[in-house]
Structure 1
Amino acid sequence: MNDPVNEPVTRPAPGPATGAATGPGAGPVTGLATGELLGRHRAVLPDWLALYYADPIEITHGEGRHVWDADGNRYLDFFGGILTTMTAHALPEVTKAIAEQAGRIVHSSTLYLNRPMVELAERVAQLSGIPDARVFFTTSGTEANDTALLLATAYRSSNQILAMRNSYHGRSFSTVGITGNKGWSPTGLSPLQTLYVHGGVRTRGPYARLSDADFIAACVEDLRDLLGHTRPPAALIAEPVQGVGGFTSPPDGLYAAFREVLRERGVLWISDEVQTGWGRTGDHFWGWQAHGRSGPPDILTFAKGIGNGMSIGGVVARAEIMNCLDSNSISTFGGSPVTMAAGLANLTYLLEHDLQGNARRVGGLLIELLRAVAAQVPAVREVRGRGLMIGIELARPGTDEADPDAAAAVLEAARAGGLLIGKGGGHDTSALRIAPPLTLTVAEAEEGASILEDALRSLGS
């Protein structure tokens, strides 16, 4: 079995544009074509469609853990298109599977038997840990969570949902209604009644100074108290590691403790694995397994990484829950032959190359390197995460006050150094999000940490 640390993707990288800066320290070059495209973007697309950077970039191609922009600048990619390029850019096994399937048939819909869809569903059902599992494919994590909410509310005959504070579950009308992060929830209107629970953020809030055991006990007591004042909800939906929230998480075991309380009342547990699934956290294949004392969730949602850039989402649930709907349904694009072929090839590569193990090993090294840097930068409040899902929270030195300006400055400085990272957090977007493809090598981890060190140190200059 090949080791992805020592045997990264080796197809020749495309050459840079003539005269462009290509080294990590060269700084970005912004051309006239990029500025012209930005003007066209602003003329026809919504104002709320966020773009990174003061001078946004157009990414034109990628290879392995690197991407190039339209001006020929080369970047080490530590964000993977929002955790979606899970294995590598232009992974030959995936691109070959896409091309071969597209040469046979691109689309048919779920009204016809679809061999790649059945094959991927069989593998996901087995990997999920959910007994008698059924799988429904969608085109995004938003749609997957929307489907999970439909199933839970229909199964329980309740439109009341428990969600975590600082959470994010998508951009549809129902999922923004349960999102506990005000920066990503543009309306208070919702078809659901949502109650928000403590526990998703370990180092902020009223229980932050408690020990892990006392933190869990306090959150469980709060949940019991909340349930004592309301009719039994349909479900609790929770991200094991909050993605847009800045890669925050509770102590291991919190959701197992919640599950015991929920079971007393028949309330379902939905684990939102859109960002945590497929081994990214290193220690576990699914994020829920860090809280697995009480077994798998009733419903599991997934998306992003499984398609390595192709639009795949999905829901896994016990048959009695999945089959509770009493009307017909189809999906026009969910389970497309091309995306299913990509998902099968990508999942096979991930398992055969033990990318979960690579995330644990290389991610552990990267966290150590970043914590060593952070100890010398007063603006860093916390370095957190597991595997290749790492958050760096910034605050005004000497305080716990979030510093979104510092996060924006580091994002820009990292880009100038040749590194792409993300932002997030429930406190005015003051956390940096680091989530490279799972084939990241030790050398690339060290290179990225060095660029981040320079970017963080620039805050004091």
Structure 2
Amino acid sequence: MTDDLLGRHRSVLPDWLALYYDEPLEITHGEGRHVWDSDGNRYLDFFGGILTTMTAHALPEVTKAVGEQAGRILHSSTLYLNRPMVELAERIVHLSGIPDARVFFTTSGTEANDTALLLATTYRRTNTVLAMRNSYHGRSFSAVGITGNRGWSPTSLSPLQTLYVHGGVRTRGPFASLDDHDFVAACVDDLKDLLGHTRPPAALIAEPIQGVGGFTSPPDGLYAAFREVLHERGVLWIADEVQTGWGRTGEHFWGWQAHGRNGPPDIVTFAKGIGNGMSIGGVIARSEIMNCLDAHSISTFGGTQITMAAGLANLTYLLEHDLQGNARRVGGLLIQRLRAVAAQVPAVREVRGRGLMIGIELTKPGTDEAYPEAVSAVLEAARAGGLLIGKGGGHDTSALRIAPPLTLNVAEAEEGAAILERALRSIP
């Protein structure tokens, strides 16, 4: 059945639509932290549909909310008042830390980042944008135009003038040998030099932890230091929280809070985990920025009743069960366990991350050269052992990405680590 489905997939879908594994699998159902494929194989899920199944598969509170809402009405568009959308927006405004905030709902992180760029460039009256090297912000025309990762940027054409800044990757690049304090200082000096050669841009957009880039991050405080420089010039700070939001990093509810000594960002984008699989994205911004557009707009599918019902139930569950705390505790144990394993595997260059957002970078032993063949081999070996993980990285797909649902327990973390250990030790 899977072979037939693969052939049908290839005959009607684009060649560039990526599939994992030499023999792609069809996931048919899930429960908790596990999923099953069409052949009946059971897997521990350490990737959650690219960080989208944030709490658990088939979480009863979410499925009940979706079912009850489906029995009333699925959708009406933003042309009509929508109680679940207002209720979720109220909760997000409260959690955002942004004063006098407004929320606009979209269907994806890509669309959320598109909207943030529209707001920032309109508010600032310039199409110049600062972005981080090794970054990823989506697959739309404008989002690709600010993506600093060659593997996910299929065109250099863009409606924006993008300038790329150092700092998103701590252990590579010209400042990698510096300590954290000097690293931040060097990146700030580089930013100042860059701004001295161009007109002030609209905004800096940055992921607190780079997702597709391999779960890399700068030292805490880098973006706070950047913001001091940007604020003097009126430049906005957009935090792309599509992968880091809602407590996944454990230490903070939002990734930007590791860099927040000067207050929250001007704009925050979110998506993925808030819907626990339902298509929700969005933008949070100060009212003066959100309201700067001088034309009418609507969203046909953003904020539809059924997705908002899912988001409300999911967010309530996350907060009532302290899943941020669970991510900190269980994620901390998992990182320690993986670092102990990595010390015995020459191909592992670094284990990094926070909470339940962990990257394992692989390089050819004794070098800093990317080892994408090993990444693919570990991905396959983990699957054979009953574990699903992801991959990424800005250096020829050099990293494994580990991001389980936030309800992961200690026994499951140990089980996944043991499978990963066997897979890593199989690297030739």
Give per-residue Cα distances to partners, 1:137-196, cap 9 Å, x unaligned. 000000000000000000000000000000000000000000000000000000000000
Partner of 2:50: 82
Among candidates 34, 46, 50, match of residue 66 of structure 1 = 34
Instruction: Confirm or deny that 1:286 pairs with 2:251.
Output: no
Query: What are the residue-to-residue correspondences of 1:316-327 with 2, within 5 Å?
Result: 316-327=284-295
Q: CA deviation at 1:41?
A: 0.1
Match of 2:298 in 1: 330
Alpha-carbon distance in structure 1 between the residues aligned to 2:309 and 2:166: 40
Answer yes or no: is 1:129 the counterpart of 2:97: yes
Identity, % of aligned positions = 87
Deviations 1:397-422 (A, max 9, x none): 00010100000000000000000000
AA matched with 2:91: R
Which of these residues, 30, 34, 45, is aligned with residue 2 of structure 2? 34
Partner Cα distance (2:329, 2:33) in 1: 17
**1:175 matched to which residue of 2?**
143
Determine the structure 2 residue equivalent to 1:264. 232
Q: How many residues align?
A: 428
Match of 1:389 among 341, 357, 375: 357
Code of the aligned partner of 2:33:
R
Partner secondary structure for residue 284 of structure 1 = coil
Which ranges in structure 1 are unaligned for 5 or more consecutive residues?
Answer: 1-32
Q: Which residue of 2 aligns with 1:30?
A: none
How big is each residue's C-alpha offset from its partner over 1:225-267, in whole Å with a ceiling of 9 and x where there is no partner? 0000000000000000000000000000000000000001000
Q: Counterpart of 2:272 in structure 1: which amino acid?
A: K
* Matches of 2:179 and 2:409, distance apart in 1: 35
Q: After superposition, where does 1:53-452 map in structure 2 within 5 Å?
A: 53-452=21-420
User: SS state of the match for residue 242, structure 1?
Assistant: coil
After TM superposition, give the deviation of residue 457 of structure 1 in Å: 0.3
* Residue aligned with 2:116, SS: helix
Equivalent position amino acid for 1:252 in 2: D
Structure 2 distance, partners of 1:208, 1:239, is 19
Counterpart-to-counterpart distance in 2, 1:64 and 1:263: 44
- Deviations along 1:419-456, whole A, 9 cap, x unmatched? 00000000000100000000000000000000000000
SS in 2 for 1:293: coil
Specify every segment of 5 or more residues in structure 2 that has no aligned partner in the other structure, as ranges. Answer: none
Q: Take 1:194 and 1:388, find their aligned partners in 2: how far apart are those partners?
A: 31
Q: How far does the alpha carbon of each residue in 1:367-392 deviate from its partner, in whole angstroms, 9 at most, with x for none?
A: 00000000000000000000000000
Inter-partner Cα distance in structure 1 for 2:274 and 2:423: 31
SS at 1:67's partner residue? strand
Secondary structure (helix, strand or coil) at the match of 1:36 reads: helix
Query: What amino acid is the match of 2:221?
Result: G
Matched position secondary structure for 1:459 = coil
Q: Secondary structure at the match of 1:294?
A: coil
- Residue of structure 2 in register with 1:4 after alignment: none
C-alpha displacement of 1:304: 0.1
One-letter amino acid of the counterpart of residue 186, structure 1? P
Give the distance between the partners of 2:318 and 2:116, measured in 1 at CA: 26
After superposing on structure 2, the runs of 4+ consecutive aligned residues of structure 1 that deviate more than 6 Å are none
Q: Secondary structure at the match of 1:350?
A: helix
Rounded to whole Å, the distance in 1 between the matches of 2:382 and 2:168 is: 28
For 2:306 and 2:67, how far apart are their aligned partners in 1? 8
Q: Separation in 2 of the partners of 1:59 and 1:436?
A: 16
In 2, distance between residues paired with 1:133 and 1:127? 10
Once the 2 structures are TM-superposed, how far is the Cα of residue 358 of structure 1 from its aligned partner?
A: 0.1
Tell me the residue number matched to 1:16: none
Give the Cα separation in 2 of the matches to 1:451 and 1:49: 28
Q: Distance in 2 between matches of 1:104 and 1:153?
A: 39
Local SS of the residue matching 2:213: coil
